[in-house]
Amino acid sequence: MIGYVIRRLLLAIPTLLAMLTMVFILVRLVPGDAAVAMLGDRASAQTLQNLRAQLGLDQPIPVQYVRFVTDMLSGDFGRSMTSGRTVLEEVALVLPYTLELALAAMLIGTLLGIPLGVVAAVRRNRWPDYVSRILSLVGLSFPGFVSGILMLLAFAVWLQWLPVMSRASTDPLSHLRSLALPALNLGLIMTAYIARVTRSSMLDVMGEDYIRTARAKGVKPRKLIMRHALGNALIPIVTVVGLYFGTLIGNSVLTEIVFTRPGLGKLILGALQSRDYTLLQGLMVVFATFVILVNTATDLIYALVDPRVSYAQ
Amino acid sequence: MTDFAISQSMPARQSSPVLRALRRNRFAWIGIGLLALIVLVAIFAPVIAPYDPLKQNILHRLSPPSSDFWFGTDSYGRDVLSRLLYGARISLSIGFLSVLIAMVVGSALGILAGYIGGVFDQIVMGIVDVMLSFPTLLLGLMVAAMLGASFENLIIAIAITETAPFARVARAPTIAMKRRDFVEAGRSLGYTPLHIMRVHILPNILSDIVVVASLWMASAIRTEASLAFIGLGVLPPTATWGGMIREGFDNILSAWWLVVFPSLAILLTVLALNILGDALRDAIDPKTRSQG
């Protein structure tokens, strides 16, 4: 078991390296000169030269690559060109907001999605199933910003139940009120996703022999569904939800922009608008590292909860 | 004669039961109908559109939906309905072309990796895993930001984000097919690997790839709209759905029609593709086929 954990962790290293290589190539896709792209055409030759030297762009590509990888691996993700803070400092400033949003969404998604999926599977091809399937299909079709804008219009502009702008507040009630819409927006998209995965996972499990055996032995339907079926159906659900994490981040970026909420989304948008390529590159690395770590953790959890995963191999 | 022998041992094409299952699925028809409608609208936009989508009319700035302007006008006095109809062209063509590129490149990589195996397989799948570890939107955002936003660059950016899933989908069945008798027979008859991959393997995994394509086209349209909303779309004044929402967002408190109609357009298009993709998947998967 420990051997498996170590092997899986080691496997993350080449993935990280390949990711760094890709980010390196991506950043060098900028047509022409990155320094000109950042400062504009009117910058003087001297300023451009200084920026090139500062970014190491005057070095040969292999040297740039080695420097980039060693910097990143030693935890130096670079510095924002506009604020002067390091990328990690920038991320640390806004991470609590995004984390709060993501966790609230996960909570809503799990609490609503799993029951919806279970009901759909148990009442397969009857109206609860159809309702659940249609709802999750619609939920999955919404780009995060479209559903956000429609909810903003409905609840904040027309009904005026909740604030249009979310901002941080020391008052817990108004803080919750400003979290409500963005969290609901992301949470409902997650609900759709989890309901769908739960349904198909439950259907797989319900077709297994041991469920039939349990039913033949006279296990009460409720216990059969909750313990025997859902217990085992949860394993793929955990994995898929873990893999969904990247999409969740993408959607939370859009949600934050719609609700003018501080967070990683606004940070990325700001970096884009001010052509802060070093910040953008650093953010990309931080995000991808995060997703790789979550994926690794998901695999490990999978191995922990599913005795069928062989650790030998 | 040899061709006959091979076709004898090939698995029967699945098209007939799949088509039958698809025909029985009422849900699928909703998706197909909706999609056909949107495609027709995109093709005939210049004929249907009541106004020029780029024509500004200061006298009619921000007028709400009326009999003259069914979906209202934007802050430049441009007709929202006409812009919506023309926007369908951008969304559909970027969605279609990016998925087409991703499908061709991705499946070719997947089939090659699965068929050749060994180190080549490991390298290709390693890169695929890394690509999958970037959130789609962020990868697209990064590529679009680096290349600069334009019609062609958006297609490239979205194609890059969607190549990896196709490689995954094509690889697994290729490995299974490789061991089947008819491929073995082809090999012993001296067909080149390229011929075997093209004639014996590709047709048999095509259905899996097509299902993925329709689902990823939905995702491509979503990504394009999201990038346009962030400000990385085809440049204004060209009408794009995401760009229209971006422009309308500033006036959300006073002019709801600027965001609601393009939002519905995106939602309906993505929904239609998702319904179709789901129906195709159900039709191909024998486990769910009989239940419809």
Asked if B135 and A29 come within 8 Å (Cβ–Cβ), the reply is no
Backbone angles phi, psi at B190, to 5 degrees: 90, 15
Higher pLDDT, A294 or B37: B37
Interface predicted TM-score of the whole assembly (ipTM), two decimals: 0.80
Contacts of B153 in chain A (CB under 8 A): none
Q: Give how far A27 is from chain B: nearest CA, Å.
A: 6
Does residue B77 sit within a domain? yes
How far apart are alpha carbons A220 and A225 in whole angstroms?
Answer: 9
Structure-block tokens of residue B255: 């002019």
Contacts of A142 in chain B (CB under 8 A): 267, 270
Backbone angles phi, psi at A86, to 5 degrees: -75, 160
Asked if A15 and B126 come within 8 Å (Cβ–Cβ), the reply is yes
Q: Does A36 touch chain B (CB under 8 A)?
A: no
pLDDT, one tens digit for every residue, chain B (292 residues): 444 444 444 454 445 566 776 777 777 888 889 999 999 988 988 888 787 777 777 777 777 887 777 788 877 778 888 889 998 998 899 999 999 999 999 999 999 998 888 888 888 888 888 887 777 888 888 888 888 778 888 899 899 888 988 998 888 888 888 888 888 888 888 888 888 888 778 888 887 888 788 888 998 999 999 998 888 888 878 888 888 888 888 888 888 888 889 999 999 999 999 888 888 877 776 555 444 3
Does residue B164 sit within a domain? yes
- The four Cα atoms B268, B269, B273, B276 give a dihedral, to 10 degrees, of 50
Q: What range defines the domain where residue B193 resides?
A: 16-291
- Residues A149-164 have pLDDT tens digits of 888 888 887 887 777 6
Q: Among B135, B147, B274, whose Cβ lies nearest the Cβ of A141?
A: B274
Q: pTM for this one?
A: 0.83
Task: Check which CATH number belongs to the domain holding B267 and give it.
Answer: 1.10.3720.10
Q: Among A138, A272, A292, whose Cβ lies nearest the Cβ of B133?
A: A292
Contacts of B138 in chain A (CB under 8 A): 246, 249-250, 253, 268, 284, 287
Asked if residues B158 and B98 have their Cβ atoms less than 8 Å apart, the reply is: yes
Place of tokens 């609601």: B260
Asked if residues B64 and B105 have their Cβ atoms less than 8 Å apart, the reply is: no
Does residue B218 sit within a domain? yes
Helix (H, G, I), strand (E, B) or coil at A79: strand
Asked if B229 and A140 come within 8 Å (Cβ–Cβ), the reply is no
Does residue B161 sit within a domain? yes
Please give the single-letter amino acid code of residue B171: R
| Domain count along chain B | 1
Neighbouring-strand partners of residue B73: B79
Does residue B11 sit within a domain? no
Q: Give the nearest chain A residue to B272 (CA atoms).
A: A141
Asked if residues B79 and B69 have their Cβ atoms less than 8 Å apart, the reply is: yes
Does residue B234 sit within a domain? yes
Q: Give the nearest chain A residue to B220 (CA atoms).
A: A143
Asked if A153 and B225 come within 8 Å (Cβ–Cβ), the reply is no
Does residue B5 sit within a domain? no
Asked if A149 and B252 come within 8 Å (Cβ–Cβ), the reply is yes
Higher pLDDT, A119 or B253: A119
Asked if B253 and A19 come within 8 Å (Cβ–Cβ), the reply is no
Q: Is A308 exposed, middle or buried (CB count within 10 Å of its CB: 0-12, 13-18, 19+)? A: exposed
Does residue B123 sit within a domain? yes
Q: Does A39 touch chain B (CB under 8 A)?
A: no
Cα torsion B223, B225, B231, B234: sign: positive
